[in-house]
Structure formats: C-alpha cells, structure tokens
Structure 1
Amino acid sequence: MSEVIVVGAGPTGLLLAGDLAESGVGVTILERRDGRISNLSRAFGVHARTLEQLDARGLADQLVAMGAPLGRLRVFGRVDVDLGALPSRFPYLLVTPQYNVEHLLLERALKAGAAIEYGAEVLELSQDATGVTVTTKNGVHRAGHAVGADGFHSTVRRALGQPFPGKSVLKSIMLADVRLTEAPPELLTVNGVGDAFAFIAPFGDGYHRVFAWDRRHVVPDDAPLDLDELREVTRRALGSDFGMHDARWLARFHSDERQVPDYRVGRVFLAGDAAHVHSPAGGQGMNTGLQDAANLSWKLASVLRGAPDALLDTYQSERHPVGRSVLRSSGALIRAAMIESAAGRAIRGFAARRALSVPKVRARIIAQLSGVGYAYPAPGGAHELVGTRATDVPLGGGGRLYEALRDRRFVLVGAADVTGWQDRVHVSAPATPGGPTVLVRPDGYVGWAGTDTTGLRPALAELAGTPTTA
C-alpha cells in the first residue's frame, strides 16, 4: 500500500509525487490519460519563483535551456514591465510550453521511485480514520493520504463534496496552434482593443500558440472555429495576423475564476486547478499549482515522520490566501485588457504607466506577478524572517542555498545542535558571518530563525518530525 495517492499527472501532481518519492515516501500517481504528454496544454510561462522551486530540484537549468527568457513584458499595447530587477537568479519570465515542464517532472518522479498507473480514471473516493480508498476503472487503491491534482473537472473535489464557487470570466476564447509567415515584434505578443483580444507565443517547434477573443461573437465552446475567424480577430487586436497558416489544432474554451473553500478535507487535499482556476492573464495558473505542490509535499513527508498532524492544516492557511490573491490579480488584469471604450483604454494605459513609475509600487506588482513577493503567516512572537521566501545565498564552504535544498532536506544556515535530525537537516555555515541562525524549509521558505537557538529543537519537532536516535 502506498503512503500517498496523487490523482493527476499534470505538473502539480508530478512535482508533488517526485518530492514525496525523493523523501522516501511511497507514492502512486493515478492518471486517467493514456500516458502521452499532451501538446494542447495552455500554460506557456514559468515565473521566477517557480524556477527557484525547480532549481531546488535540480531542474531549472535544463528547463531554461529549453525555453526563451523574457526580461520585459509589454501589456496594454505600450506599457512595459521590466523584470530585470527581480531579486532572483531568474529575473525573467521563461517562455516554454507546459509539456516541457511535465516531461522533466515525470522523468524525475519515475527516477525517484514514484509509481504511475495510466488509464486509471477515478470512480469513487472515500476516507476513514486510518486512510483513503480510491476506486478506479482498473481496481482499488488504499493509502494514508490522497491529493487531488486532477484539474478543473476534479473527480476528487466532487467526491469530497467541495463546492467550486466562482464564475466564467470569458466565454468562447479561441485557441490554436498555427505557423506564421511573419515574426511577431515581441516574444510574447499581446493586446486588447475593447472588442478583441489576442495573445501569441512561440510553441518551440515552429508553431505558435494563439489565444483570441471576440466580444462581438460569443458562442458555445463546441461551436465550429476556422482559421479565417481567428485571423480576423487577431488583426483587430494586434494589427496583423502575421500570415497565419497551417493550423494543426483549433478549439474554443471558456475561462473561469473559482476557488474551493477548503484545500484540506481530512486526509485528502486539493492542489492546482482542482483547488483554484484563474483567468489566463499573467500566466499564473500552472505556476500557482506547482507552488501548491512544493508547499504540501514536505509537510506530508514530515507528518509521516512524526510531525504533528496540525502541520498539514498550514497548507490551507498558507496556500489558500495565495490562490485568492492570484485570482484577484489575474481577474483585474483580464478585466483591464477587456475595457471596451477608447477613453477607458487611454485611462488604463495612463494609470498603468503612472503606477509602474513609482519604484515601490512597481516592485510590489512585479514581485506578486513573479511569485517572489508572497510570504506566509508566522506564529505570534516568531522572528520577522519566519514565513518569508529565502533568498538564494552562497553558503560557507561553497555552493548555494537552493543547491543544498536539492536533497529534500531542511537547510540550517548557522551553527546549532540538530542531533536526531541529521537525516533531515543539512547544516551549513553562512558565507558571511553574522545575523540570525535560519532554518529553511524544503520549499525555500524560512521555518524558524533566531539569535538564540534554544527554540530550534522544538521547531524541528513541529516541522521535521520525531527525532531519530543519535
């Protein structure tokens, strides 16, 4: 019997399963698809905080080599957002299709020992005091915990009876993969003119992914779509269709804003699109799901090693507010892009440029968009660093913090007694002496900090589990 069942082999489920397997946790992934990684996924941008999480798993450099770094975004036609000042090793948005992310995460999860069963559509899920039972078309699985990472139409969410409140923001969005005769002026080309919106990004294989929306023609998702309609809307939004031809795929979909009230229900958790969906503006959907997985994985591993069960409740208290914030910010972006009147669009551009001209406001906007600006609530009386994102600092003796995180252990920067937790804590002297001793969680956030280390051992018991014998 596995210790954890993960339903869904998209990016969220694969990162979670890989983390658990590398931590020595028995994990089985149940995936209803047949095993092929789809090239029809919609995500195309990997933000700085997600790249940091992948760096802590030894995958970031590989992914960067497969994509195109974009240091500047242009929104609303003429408003530039410079990402170069991000306090990160990755001061850019990486443009690369989702299937590249999935490929790396799948390879890692399988190498670490995660089991995966394809064609395993979930039919039922139930839980009791000792575990979770998941019934698929292929059989019955039992585990101590389960995670639903099975997307917008999550069977796990429905089995839990969780509502998914929210609404559709945009209906009849056109989606296509096309070849272009002319190169767009930007790596990511995007604009909205009131009655039309279009976005173009390179797919990486000679095709481009196009999103487009026409206020004048909102039809059901199953309505026919041809290339001429896509060309016409793109020309209205971007001034050119860049010689679109040879569409290999055309479809319509709708974009929702929804979030479940509870990310945890007993022994079962929801992550990624099963827990929250947002408008595509800002490209934060896949990124938010991957960061959900990074937050939950180490907590499950720690509880299985004896940490208090209450640690799992912090998944809700830490990640639900982030999901809500992303929902609001992406919603504000898409609504601003859809302003219909010319006067409204002029005001929108003026307000955006004015806001970005204020250094503190610009830094806050970019930090939120990239994910590096989020912090988690800290207990009363905790050091001011607790809950904040740990920056990637050099360590004494060589190497970087995020390299030290790659073995899924906590990293203690400073000197202190960790007897009993040596298998779970990597101890390193800071490259620059001075400052507090800091315990960095496996997800790259500060779990404890202080100048007096007497509080470290109780913190380790809460965060890392029961100590082993010395």
Structure 2
Amino acid sequence: MKRRYDNTDTVLIVGAGPTGLTTACTLLQHGVECRIVDRRKGPASEPKALILWSGALEVLKRIDAAECLVNRSLPLSGASYWSGGKRAGQVRFGSLADTAFPRPLCVPQSVTESVLYQRLLKLGGQVEWNTELTDVRLIGDSAEGSVSVTVESPGQSAPALLAPRWLVGADGTHSKVRAATGIAFQGSTYARDFLLGDGEFSGNLPKDEAQYHLTPEGVLVVVPLPGGGHRVFFDRDATGEVRPLSDDDLQELLTARGPRGWTLRSTWWRSTFRVHTRVAAAFRSGPVFLAGDAAHCHSPAGGQGLNTGVQDGFNLGWKLAAVSRGADPALLDSYEAERRPAALRALRNSDRQTKLWMLREGPKRVLRDTVLKVASATGALDRKMVPDLAQLDPGLESSPAVPGRLPAPAGKNAPAGKNARGAKSVLRPGLRLPDTRWQALSGTLSTSLHELLAAGRHTLLVLQNGACTVDGERTARQAADLAARSAVAAQTDVLLLTGRAPADEQDYSAPYARAVETGRQLTALAGPGQDPLVIYVRPDGAVGAWSSHLDLPRLADGVSVLGLAVGRAA
C-alpha cells in the first residue's frame, strides 16, 4: 500500500551528485525549500571527474562553496601535447581576465561532492540517501501539467507517493527521470574503451600541468593530483571488458606510450569505461527538468561534463526559486533555451579534443602536429581553447530571459550606452559585465562589481556619469522600491554607482547601496547629461536588461523577476 504525502514539496531533486547538490544549495540560498533523494548510501568516494574550470568555480563561489575547494585543489599551469617523444603544442593557463579563477583547478569529484554536501547541510538541507525513484507519471505535457513520483527506501513500510510542483532529474546518464518523460538521448558512443588509474609513480612526471602523449597506438593523459600522485588515462580498441586493468596492465601501457623512466608504484583507484556523447532532445517536459549527466554526457577530454552540470544546476535553481516566489512561470522556458546550447558547445569542445587524440593515420598526424605547433607559437591555442573550456561566456544573447536594451517612452532621452564609448562590447544582453573597482560609501562592503555579484543575487545597478545628482538618487530610490515589490525582493541588491563622490553628506538610511567607481568604466555608459542608466544583472552575473529612462515600470515589464513577462520588449 502506498502512503500519500501532502503536496508540500515545491521541488524534488533526484540525484545528489554535483549537479543535484548545486541545484539544492541554490534553491535554499534563495529561500526556497526542496527535497533531494539519492539511491546511493552516501556521498561518492570515487574521484571520477577532476577539473573545475572558471565558469563552474564562479557558480560555486555564488553558493559559498568555492573557497573550500580552492583550499583542497591543485591549480594547473597549463597543458602540453607530445608526439613522437617531442612537445608538439602547449597551452598556458592563468591569462583569463575578469575572473577570480584564471586557472582551472584539479579537484577529485569526491571532494567536490563532499564540499557541496557540507554546504547543503549548513543551509539546512539534507539528502535522503538510500532512497530510489521507482516510478514517475506525468499528467499533461504542458508547463501547467503535474507529476507524481514514487520513491522507496529500505526503512519504509511502503513506497511513498509524492506530488512535487517540479521534478529535477539529476540522476546521471541512465536517468530514470529522463526515461519516464520519453525524452530521447541523442548521440553516439566512441568505439574505444577508456582506462584510468590514480596512484603513485616514480620518474619525472609533471607537477602542475596536464600532459597528452599522442601515439599511433592511442593516447596517454597524465594529470597531477592534489596532495600527491597522478592520474593516467589511456584508450584502446573496444573489447566489451569492463574489468579495471591491473597495475601491471597499466604499466605496460605507460611504458609503451610514455617517456622512459615512468614507473607505476601503486594505485588506489582504477576504472574502465566507454564514452558516450549524447544530449537530451529536450531539457524540460512540463514540470520535469533534466540537468547534468541526465541531460548531456561528454568525453572526459577538457573536463567539461561536471562543469556544465554545475552551471545547469545554478541556472535552474535560481529560476525555480524566482517562480516559486511569484515570478512569471515563463522564466522557466529559458532554462532549455540557455543550457541546451551550452551543453552542445561543451560536447563539441570535448569531441574535438577526443578526435585529436585518436588520429592514427600518418599524414593526418603530421598535419595535426604542425597545426599544434603553429597554434602554440602564435598563441591561438591560448586565445581560443582556454575561454571555450572555461565556460565563462554564458552565450545567452538569444535567450528569451535577456531582453537587453528597453526603449524609453516618447520624449525621453535616447537610451544611454547606444553611442557611449565601449558600450557595444561591454553592455550586451546575456554577457558578463567586466569587473570594475569602486570605493564603497554606504550599504555594501564589496570593493568591486564581481565581488558584489559573487553573492549570487539579483542586482539592479544604477549608473550615473559624474557626481551623484537628484535624478540619480531618485532613480536609485525608485529601483529599490521596484525591487521591494518584486517576487525576488529578499534576493535583490540595488547599488547606485557614480563617477565622482557626492559633495553632500550621505543619507545612510537610503534603501540602496552607494559607491564611487574608481576607473569610470561602467559609469561612462550612462553618458554625460543623460538620465541614469539602470541595469538588471541576473544571479549568474549576466546582463538581463537595461534602460536609461526614469520609467522603471518599463524595465519591470521586460524582466520576469521584476514584473510581468519574459521576452524582448517591442
């Protein structure tokens, strides 16, 4: 007999890996309760994925999990490609601008999950371990449809029937949630086995860079691990054998493909697996959403899978939280519009690298090595490959949730930023604003834009060129009033940023923060003599919309969390 629970669960998350935990932490941080279940007995102990890139680290900072991970990680200085025993190419990390994380970090997935789990507990959440999803039923296929879920755990006398408002499938590549919705998992499988081992080695192995040794027989990837040791990674013809290789087998491959003198002493983890490249045909079916490996799976090349999943979780989490608080439900339509293209980009990046590894024919190998040498010498690898892998640019220009510039009413000044110097490259819908430093005057302790945005909240920036005027104060007060009446009032910051400090004493009781920009990079967008410019910045740091006029309801109409509908203003 099934026991029916009251419909008190706004969000049910299936899967407590990095994606599910990120989703849950985001919801809780935005004040929305959720329930998370996992069929495992506890957090993962296997190291699995290793690399955290800048985009995912910024997300983890927004949920206050990044610092612990930084302290338990190994920053990587670069990656090098070797062919015929010689270095054919090199990529240097550390040159990414406008981020607190210019280098990728090597962190075993077990550590990432442990840190996220501890953050979840601190936020008041918990995971119902040893609880398995056994049935999902959709009633209606529209956004207004409903879902019922059955879960079982050994301690229950009978299966539990749940009726959450939304169901998030973060339950991996063999997702039961995805299967229940009938969403196709489109893609292919490499005709290769992939073999890895984490352990201790002797010889001159790299200390802070990843190495790719590209041989006619296959690839050897070597990555140093935090705390000592290395991971070695190989491919071979598919055999159907899933048994992990012995240490002797790994040493045989290491001798055949690596430099002389590299010797395996011992391993503490070994694995054999097949690699699939697949993306779900849809990331949503009515009240059901897919995220992480349930929505996309990748080759391990470039470390894209976990990073993409973490960003899925944050994107979905803050949107579900906003709609739970009363924002327009159409905001949820933007989840697939934003994250599926991101997953496809990540898949293409990892697929290109994997195919680079697997070149076997002589002429193609020579061409590959030549291209790597030229691209390294000219810096093209650094300029192109690193930003793509880092996933800092969210690529949201076509999203319905970033209306961009909103037109002023008749008779008002033209929207500032249209002709302002640098506006074309700085102020675009869906892009991250560049960091800028300021002197805080009141209402905030942050000293820069990115430090303010790292809190992962909604933000209204009121920019005024030059010193603060009555118009600037009035606009900031109106923006604060708008925020206070919005669905996300408790998760919204308002900041008045000016180019010069005011001459008069500040009103410290104002319902918004004040700061003076040091370099005047953003305040210049307002334009001299024009109305203050108001920019809505999403919790992920992306520009949502802006308007230079004082008619703030127009801005609210174009931003779901502030007012009415998602969509581009006419």
Partner of 1:255: 275
Cα pair distance change 1:23/1:246, threshold 3 Å: same
Correspondence for 1:179 among 185, 200, 205: 200
Partner of 2:150: 135
* Distance in 1 separating the partners of 2:555 and 2:491: 14
SS at structure 1 position matched to 2:273: strand
Correspondence for 1:33 among 31, 40, 48: 40
Contact 1:318 1:377 in 2 (8 A): no
Partner of 2:262: 242
The offset of 1:434, in angstroms, is 2.8
The offset of 1:362, in angstroms, is 4.5
Contact 1:197 1:233 in 2 (8 A): no
Tell me the alpha carbon deviations over residues 197-222 of structure 1, each in whole angstroms, 9 at most, x when there is no partner: 1222234344432221124xx31142
Partner of 2:460: 412
Q: TM-score, normalised on structure 1?
A: 0.91
Partner of 2:112: 101
Correspondence for 1:429 among 461, 482, 496: 496
Correspondence for 1:400 among 429, 448, 454: 448
Partner of 1:210: 232
* Distance in 1 separating the partners of 2:562 and 2:215: 52
The offset of 1:174, in angstroms, is 1.0
Contact 1:31 1:116 in 2 (8 A): yes
Q: More displaced, 258-267 or 204-213?
A: 204-213
Alignment pair present for 1:89 and 2:97? no
Identical amino acids, percent of aligned pairs: 32
The offset of 1:289, in angstroms, is 0.5
SS at structure 2 position matched to 1:180: strand
Letter in 2 for 1:96: V
Q: More displaced, 63-72 or 13-22?
A: 63-72
Cα pair distance change 1:465/1:348, threshold 3 Å: same
1:143-292 correspondence to structure 2 within 5 Å: 143-187=164-208, 188-215=210-237, 218-223=238-243, 225-240=245-260, 242-292=262-312
* Distance in 2 separating the partners of 1:407 and 1:52: 10
Contact 2:213 2:219 in 1 (8 A): yes
Cα pair distance change 1:199/1:319, threshold 3 Å: same
Q: More displaced, 376-385 or 233-242?
A: 376-385
SS at structure 1 position matched to 2:262: coil
* Distance in 1 separating the partners of 2:380 and 2:90: 16
Cα pair distance change 1:453/1:4, threshold 3 Å: farther
Q: More displaced, 185-194 or 331-340?
A: 185-194
Cα pair distance change 1:348/1:164, threshold 3 Å: same
1:308-387 correspondence to structure 2 within 5 Å: 308-357=328-377, 362-378=382-398, 382-383=404-405, 385-387=428-430
Cα pair distance change 1:79/1:122, threshold 3 Å: same
Correspondence for 2:541 among 438, 441, 444: 444
Cα pair distance change 1:37/1:79, threshold 3 Å: same
The offset of 1:152, in angstroms, is 0.9
Q: More displaced, 181-190 or 310-319?
A: 181-190
Partner of 2:28: 21
The offset of 1:357, in angstroms, is 5.0
Contact 2:403 2:429 in 1 (8 A): no
* Distance in 2 separating the partners of 1:183 and 1:429: 55
Q: Give the gaps of 5 or more residues in structure 1.
A: none
* Distance in 1 separating the partners of 2:9 and 2:562: 21
* Distance in 1 separating the partners of 2:128 and 2:564: 32
Contact 1:193 1:236 in 2 (8 A): no
Tell me the alpha carbon deviations over residues 3-37 of structure 1, each in whole angstroms, 9 at most, x when there is no partner: 10111111011011000011111101111100133
Alignment pair present for 1:459 and 2:568? no
The offset of 1:240, in angstroms, is 4.2
Q: TM-score, normalised on structure 2?
A: 0.76
Contact 1:221 1:254 in 2 (8 A): no
Aligned residues: 463
SS at structure 1 position matched to 2:185: coil
Correspondence for 1:46 among 39, 44, 52: 52
Cα pair distance change 1:68/1:98, threshold 3 Å: same
SS at structure 2 position matched to 1:385: coil
* Distance in 1 separating the partners of 2:285 and 2:196: 35
